[in-house]
């Protein structure tokens, strides 16, 4: 045989002997879109999997399978016994954990999710108040596909800058990075609704506290740059010369829309662990609930000052609350590690230092436009 | 080195059969007629005419123009003394010559000449009075376009060269003539612009044409397969055109043009891969539009080759990459199909190819029904019957449509065919197979050459200056250099500043 034929023969041999790759044809796969983890009484994990139902004749768009096992993968192979299609996690969008699970520590579960190459790093993680299994299996009128509903709800609010983003990539990063703790949104079902109630504060991998959505907004204000979020603020109206009457509300409430925001943390004293948090906000006033003369610059300035004070005190309260729980979602530890040379900060070390830290909050708020108000 | 050795061989090969074994013209009239008759196999159209004063005319009835024969030869030869010199003086045909050998006489008679034999002389006069059986010049069919000259080459070599000469009134336009084909003796012409075209390329082309040993060359597409760098590859390395303006633009860029008698298309070389996606119209529309169209054609080539394989790979192996909103309709439509995606795709692709081939073979009037058959039967019924998923129908249609956007028919065919191995690779090994196929194609393309110059020219080797008129087209003032691929002796077309006024 000539060398050319030899080469061809070799290629043919490689092709024929290797055979086809292991195929995963779409319609034969059970595509898991949401996974939920609960803790059973005997400390096992109850895994609920919502599958996308690919059958034009089926009434329901999804099927929920659940299985109890010691590990997440074990539960999947148990659930395989209940499914006509091979269960696959490649289309996973949301992983939900019950509060119980997160309070016990969730790193083993998220770790197996992040190891699986088929699972995207951009899936959303969430904490459910109550039972995840109930939430995912509940039949609600008007919600045809609970898992999609939750996914869209989380996505919409994260993109709309209502709550901080909590993709698996971010949670895992915050977990492994010393000096910052992850946060995850909390969800609550019932009354035909699924509501985002706030954020879970997590220390190491255990949930230690909760903040509400207003505080979640402030958390985002510190950590990220804003472009679209808006917030409602209520301030005491006694200092404004607004005529008091029975009909008008007791508090002056304004809705401001952030045009840009900028948060900056500096370590100003490394021995006393004193940080300075500067927040700059450029906003637009969207709505005000009482008659207030916005045309007068002096009055507008007064409003600005009052709003500043309000935000400052809110931020201080949030930081204090987080410090009480021991979780540091703001990343003060990272600033410390960055600013102090050779600090060799570890997560454990920082969690010991964190309760002693002090934060000075400085807010600079500017109302650029009020034109939207009548 | 290799090149020079070849060159020295070439002239010997054609001069081999010249003077030695040729037969002289006999002096006797009857002997001459019988030899000619025997040489031309006693053809039914072989005619002789004996004049009273000793001339004998021999010609092929089917190849000669009767009017010219009567007016310019017969009428002039009466009443003069029968010597070859007298005949040469009297005949009023522009192309006449003296012939000493029978072989030359046979060659001439086959080209439409009348041979005039004078009794007692071993020399004959040949006068060409060939009929001009030509189609009149028509509009371009395969490369029709809205803007630009509306004229195409026809089957006559002389007409084609005259068209080129009319577009390019330039004394530097060289025209070399060859005869190719042992049986057909087809005339082949090599045209190039002296002082622009690279001498080495001209030598190479000349040597390739002379080196051909084949019995017949019927069309320029035949010849181009014989003189290509790599006849085994799937990509054509030389481009054919039926537009004289396109051939001229090639000549002006330092390329060579080869014409074959009896062929409506001319060969241009060297060409780059990008040239297959360019149309002459790109020069006639504004540069923004031309750039958009060129990018669109490139994009559609990629879509046409890779769209179906990506579908197959995604559905067979990589369900992760499918957007979730598409999953349900895709899955539902797939759940009725009994075949795996690779079979489904191959089946539908084959159907499309069947339709296309059937439409091409049928007469035009019947061909219109093909659209109905294709649209209704294959399109709707196949989905209803659960034969294929309707998303695949869309994908196959888009890729079929994209393959039609290639301005070059040959490249369009290549794109059609390339899809099949890629679908098989995608169906067996998913994206790994697809990437393997893509890399294989890319390496193959990089290895190709056209007349010794790189086929993937402005990209590999990178010649960024030439990108201005390849994948995009910048304004004329910016494209004032000839492409480096042809290695032109004179790089500069014109001074840029003059055109920007």
pLDDT in tens, B224-242: 999 999 888 899 999 999 9
B494 lies within 8 A of chain A by CB? no
A54 contacts in B (CB within 8 Å)? Answer: 327-328, 331-332, 334-335
| Within-domain flag for A9 | no
Same domain, A118 and A166: yes
What is the band of B292 on the pLDDT scale with cuts at 50, 70, 90? very high
A20 lies within 8 A of chain B by CB? yes
B334 lies within 8 A of chain A by CB? yes
- Dist CA A118 CA A331 (whole Å): 30
- Residue B378's alpha-carbon distances to B65, B402, B498, in angstroms, are 55, 19, 57
Q: Choose the closest CB to A26 out of B334, B429, B432.
A: B334
Question: Mean pLDDT for chain B?
Answer: 87
- Dist CA B442 CA A13 (whole Å): 23
Q: Per-residue pLDDT averaged across B189-194, rounded?
A: 94
| Within-domain flag for A197 | yes
CA B191 to chain centre: 14
Closest Cα in chain A, distance from residue B315 (Å): 5
Q: How high is the pLDDT of residue B237?
A: 92
CB contact under 8 A, B331 and A25: no
Burial class (CB in 10 A: 0-12, 13-18, 19+), B452: middle
A87 lies within 8 A of chain B by CB? no
Beta strand pairing call for A358-369 and B46-50:
unpaired
| Within-domain flag for A20 | no
What is the band of B299 on the pLDDT scale with cuts at 50, 70, 90? very high
B317 lies within 8 A of chain A by CB? yes
Is the pLDDT confidence value at B106 over 80?
yes
DSSP string, B58-102: EEETTTB-HHHIIIIIIHHHTTS---HHHHHHH---SSEEEE-BH
Closest Cα in chain B, distance from residue A137 (Å): 20
Tell whether the torsion through CA atoms of B97, B102, B108 and B114 is positive or negative. Answer: positive
CB contact under 8 A, A23 and B340: yes
Which of B319, B335, B384 is most worth mutating to test chain A (most A CB atoms within 10 A of its CB)?
Answer: B319
Between B9 and A196, whose confidence is greater? A196
- Dist CA B440 CA B239 (whole Å): 23
Q: Give the range of the structural domain holding residue A334, as residue numbers without chain letter.
A: 225-369
Question: What percentage of residues in chain A have a pLDDT greater than 90?
Answer: 31
- Residue B432: closest C-alpha in chain A: A21
Closest Cα in chain A, distance from residue B232 (Å): 14
Question: Which residues does B59 contact at the CB level (< 8 Å), separation at least 6?
Answer: B47, B49, B69, B109, B113, B114, B115, B129
Same domain, A331 and A186: no
Question: Mean pLDDT for chain A?
Answer: 87
Same domain, A250 and A334: yes
Same domain, A207 and A284: no
Which of A181, A212, A243 is the last residue before a domain boundary? A212
Measured from the Cβ of residue A164, the count of other Cβ atoms closer than 10 Å reads: 21
Q: Per-residue pLDDT averaged across B305-328, rounded?
A: 90
- Residue B348's alpha-carbon distances to B15, B110, B406, B468, in angstroms, are 56, 52, 22, 39
Element (H, E) at B109: helix B102-110
ipTM above 0.90, yes or no: no
| A and B: number of Cβ contacts within 8 A | 65
B36 lies within 8 A of chain A by CB? no
Q: Choose the closest CB to B331 out of A26, A88, A118.
A: A26
Q: How high is the pLDDT of residue A1?
A: 60
Among candidates B329, B337, B317, B427, which has minimal Cα distance to A88? Answer: B317
Q: Per-residue pLDDT averaged across B8-24, rounded?
A: 57
A23 lies within 8 A of chain B by CB? yes
- Residue B324: closest C-alpha in chain A: A91
| Percent of chain B as helix, strand, coil, to the nearest 5 | 50, 15, 35
Give pLDDT tens digits for A6-29. Answer: 888 988 888 778 777 788 888 888
Is there a contact between A216 and A162 (Cβ–Cβ < 8 Å)?
A: yes
Q: Per-residue pLDDT averaged across B203-213, rounded?
A: 93
Same domain, A165 and A198: yes
Same domain, A168 and A59: yes
| Within-domain flag for A18 | no
| Percent of chain A as helix, strand, coil, to the nearest 5 | 35, 35, 35
Q: Which residue has the tokens 């017949």?
A: B216
Q: How high is the pLDDT of residue B418?
A: 93
Q: Per-residue pLDDT averaged across A40-67, rounded?
A: 85
Is the pLDDT confidence value at A202 over 60?
yes
| Within-domain flag for A31 | yes
Same domain, A45 and A193: yes
B330 lies within 8 A of chain A by CB? yes
B332 contacts in A (CB within 8 Å)? Answer: 54-56
The number of distinct structural domains making up chain A is 2
A271 lies within 8 A of chain B by CB? no
Q: Per-residue pLDDT averaged across B79-95, rounded?
A: 85
Q: Choose the closest CB to A27 out of B318, B334, B427.
A: B334
Is the pLDDT confidence value at A373 over 60?
no
Question: What percentage of residues in chain B have a pLDDT greater than 70?
Answer: 95
Q: What are phi and psi of B101, to 5 degrees?
A: -115, 150
Same domain, A170 and A30: yes
Is the pLDDT confidence value at B213 over 80?
yes
Contact map slice: B 252-291 vs A, CB within 8 A: none
Closest Cα in chain B, distance from residue A168 (Å): 17
Between B343 and B17, whose confidence is greater? B343
Question: What percentage of residues in chain B have a pLDDT greater than 90?
Answer: 37
| Within-domain flag for A178 | yes
| Within-domain flag for A11 | no
Q: How high is the pLDDT of residue B11?
A: 47
| Long-range contact set of residues B145-150: C-beta below 8 Å, sequence gap at least 24 | B145/B279, B145/B280, B145/B281, B145/B284, B146/B281, B147/B281, B147/B284, B147/B285, B148/B243, B148/B245, B148/B280, B148/B281, B148/B283, B148/B284, B149/B243, B149/B244, B149/B245
Is the pLDDT confidence value at B22 over 50?
yes
Question: Which residues does A228 contact at the CB level (< 8 Å), separation at least 6?
Answer: A160, A161, A258
- Which strand ranges, in their side-by-side order, compose the sheet holding B256-260? B173-180, B186-193, B256-260, B266-269, B239-241
Among candidates B349, B324, B344, B325, which has minimal Cα distance to B334? Answer: B344
Give pLDDT tens digits for A256-270. Answer: 887 788 888 989 888
Same domain, A193 and A230: no
Q: Per-residue pLDDT averaged across B114-122, rounded?
A: 88
Contact map slice: B 88-147 vs A, CB within 8 A: none
Give pLDDT tens digits for A205-250. Answer: 899 999 998 898 888 888 887 777 778 888 887 777 776 666 677 7
Task: Write a three-state SS string for A312-360.
Answer: HHHHHHHHHHHHHHCCCCCCHHHHHHHHCCCCCCCHHHHHHHHHHCEEE
Q: How high is the pLDDT of residue B3?
A: 45
Which of A166, A187, A212 is the last residue before a domain boundary? A212
Beta strand pairing call for A94-98 and A124-128:
parallel
Element (H, E) at B328: helix B324-335
* Residue B464 half-sphere exposure toward CB, CA atoms < 13 A: 0
Q: Per-residue pLDDT averaged across A84-91, rounded?
A: 88
Measured from the Cβ of residue B182, the count of other Cβ atoms closer than 10 Å reads: 11
B327 contacts in A (CB within 8 Å)? Answer: 26, 31, 52, 54, 91
CB contact under 8 A, A91 and B328: no
Which of A178, A212, A246 is the last residue before a domain boundary? A212
Is the pLDDT confidence value at B9 over 50?
no
Q: How high is the pLDDT of residue B8?
A: 46
- Residue A16: closest C-alpha in chain B: B428
| Within-domain flag for A322 | yes
What is the band of B165 on the pLDDT scale with cuts at 50, 70, 90? very high
Same domain, A336 and A303: yes
Is there a contact between A47 and A37 (Cβ–Cβ < 8 Å)?
A: yes
Which two structure tokens, joined as six digits, stand for B477? 């003032």
- Residue A127's alpha-carbon distances to A96, A106, A183, B92, in angstroms, are 6, 10, 10, 106
Which CATH number covers residue A357? 3.30.300.210
Same domain, A44 and A173: yes
Which of A19, A21, A93 is most worth mutating to test chain B (most B CB atoms within 10 A of its CB)?
Answer: A21
Same domain, A276 and A337: yes
A91 contacts in B (CB within 8 Å)? Answer: 319-320, 322, 324, 327
- Running DSSP on this structure, what letter comes out for residue B466? G
Q: How high is the pLDDT of residue B175?
A: 93
Helices (H), B212-323: 220-227, 244-252, 281-284, 287-316
Q: How high is the pLDDT of residue B18?
A: 54
Residue A195 in 3-state DSSP?
strand
- Dist CA B340 CA B346 (whole Å): 10
């Amino acid at each position: 045989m000539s060398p050319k034929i030899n080469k061809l023969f070799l290629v043919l041999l490689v092709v024929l002997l290797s055979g086809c790759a292991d195929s995963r044809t779409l319609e034969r796969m059970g595509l898991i879109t949401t996974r939920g983890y609960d803790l059973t009484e005997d400390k096992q994990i109850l895994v609920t999997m919502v599958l996308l139902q690919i059958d034009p004749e089926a009434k329901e768009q999804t099927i929920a399978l659940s299985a109890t096992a010691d590990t997440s993968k074990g539960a999947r192979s148990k659930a395989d016994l209940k499914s006509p299609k091979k269960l696959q996690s490649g289309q996973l969008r949301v992983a939900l954990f019950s509060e119980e699970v997160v309070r016990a520590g969730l790193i083993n579960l998220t770790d197996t999710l992040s190891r699986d190459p088929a699972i995207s790093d951009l899936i959303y993680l969430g904490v459910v108040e109550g039972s995840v299994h109930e939430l995912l299996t509940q039949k609600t009128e008007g919600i045809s596909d609970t898992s999609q509903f939750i996914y869209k709800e989380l996505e919409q609010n994260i993109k709309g800058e209502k709550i901080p983003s909590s993709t698996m990539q971010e949670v895992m990063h915050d977990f492994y990075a010393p000096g910052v703790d992850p946060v995850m949104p909390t969800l609550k079902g019932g009354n035909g609704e699924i509501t985002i109630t706030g954020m879970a504060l997590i220390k190491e991998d255990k949930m230690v506290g909760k903040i509400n959505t207003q505080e979640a907004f402030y958390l985002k204000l510190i950590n990220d740059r804003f472009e679209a979020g808006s917030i409602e603020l209520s301030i005491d109206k006694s200092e404004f010369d607004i005529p008091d009457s029975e009909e008008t509300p007791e508090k002056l409430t304004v809705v401001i829309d952030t045009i840009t925001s900028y948060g900056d943390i500096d370590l100003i004293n490394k021995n006393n662990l004193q940080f300075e948090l500067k927040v700059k906000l450029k906003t637009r006033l969207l709505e005000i609930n009482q008659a207030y003369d916005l045309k007068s610059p002096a009055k507008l300035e007064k409003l600005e000052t009052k709003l500043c004070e309000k935000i400052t005190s809110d931020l201080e309260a949030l930081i204090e609350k987080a410090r009480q729980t021991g979780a540091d979602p703001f990343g003060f530890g990272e600033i410390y590690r960055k600013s102090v040379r050779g600090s060799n900060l570890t997560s454990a070390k920082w969690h010991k230092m964190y309760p002693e830290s002090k934060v000075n909050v400085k807010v600079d708020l500017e109302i650029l436009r009020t034109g939207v108000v009548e | 080195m290799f090149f020079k050795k070849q060159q020295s061989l070439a002239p010997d090969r054609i001069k081999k059969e010249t003077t030695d074994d040729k037969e002289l013209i006999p002096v006797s009239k009857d002997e001459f007629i019988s030899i000619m008759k025997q040489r031309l196999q006693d053809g039914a159209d072989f005619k002789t005419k004996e004049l009273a004063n000793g001339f004998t005319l021999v010609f092929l009835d089917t190849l000669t123009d009767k009017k010219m024969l009567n007016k310019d030869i017969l009428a002039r030869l009466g009443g003069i003394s029968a010597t070859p010199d007298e005949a040469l003086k009297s005949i009023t045909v522009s192309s006449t010559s003296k012939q000493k050998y029978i072989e030359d006489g046979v060659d001439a008679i086959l080209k439409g000449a009348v041979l005039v034999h004078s009794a007692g002389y071993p020399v004959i006069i040949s006068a060409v009075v060939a009929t001009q059986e030509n189609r009149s010049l028509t509009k371009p069919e395969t490369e029709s376009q809205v803007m630009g000259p509306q004229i195409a080459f026809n089957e006559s070599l002389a007409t084609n060269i005259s068209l080129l000469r009319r577009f390019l009134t330039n004394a530097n336009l060289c025209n070399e003539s060859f005869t190719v084909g042992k049986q057909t003796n087809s005339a082949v012409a090599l045209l190039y612009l002296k002082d622009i075209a690279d001498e080495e390329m001209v030598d190479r082309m000349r040597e390739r044409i002379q080196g051909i040993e084949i019995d017949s060359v019927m069309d320029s597409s035949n010849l181009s397969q014989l003189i290509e760098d790599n006849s085994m590859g799937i990509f054509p390395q030389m481009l054919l055109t039926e537009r004289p303006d396109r051939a001229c633009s090639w000549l002006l860029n330092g390329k060579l043009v080869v014409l074959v008698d009896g062929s409506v298309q001319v060969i241009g070389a060297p060409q780059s891969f990008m040239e297959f996606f360019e149309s002459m119209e790109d020069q006639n529309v504004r540069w923004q539009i031309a750039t958009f169209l060129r990018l669109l054609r490139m994009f559609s080539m990629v879509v046409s080759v890779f769209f179906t394989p990506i579908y197959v790979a995604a559905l067979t192996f990589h369900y992760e990459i499918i957007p979730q909103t598409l999953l349900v309709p895709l899955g539902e439509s797939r759940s009725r199909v009994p075949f795996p995606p690779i079979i489904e795709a191959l089946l539908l692709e084959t159907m499309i190819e069947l339709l296309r081939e059937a439409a091409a073979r049928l007469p035009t009037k019947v061909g219109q029904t093909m659209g109905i058959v294709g649209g209704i039967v294959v399109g709707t019924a196949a989905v209803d019957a659960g034969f294929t998923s309707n998303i695949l129908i869309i994908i196959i249609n888009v890729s079929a449509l994209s393959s039609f956007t290639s301005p070059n028919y040959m490249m369009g065919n290549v794109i059609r065919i390339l899809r099949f191995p890629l679908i098989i690779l995608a169906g067996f090994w998913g994206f790994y197979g697809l990437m393997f196929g893509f890399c294989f194609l890319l390496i193959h393309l990089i290895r190709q050459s056209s007349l010794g110059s790189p086929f993937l020219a402005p990209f590999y080797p990178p010649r960024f200056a030439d990108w201005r008129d390849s994948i995009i087209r910048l304004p004329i003032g910016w494209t004032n250099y000839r492409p480096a691929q042809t290695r032109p002796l004179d790089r500069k077309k014109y001074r840029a500043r003059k055109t920007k006024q």
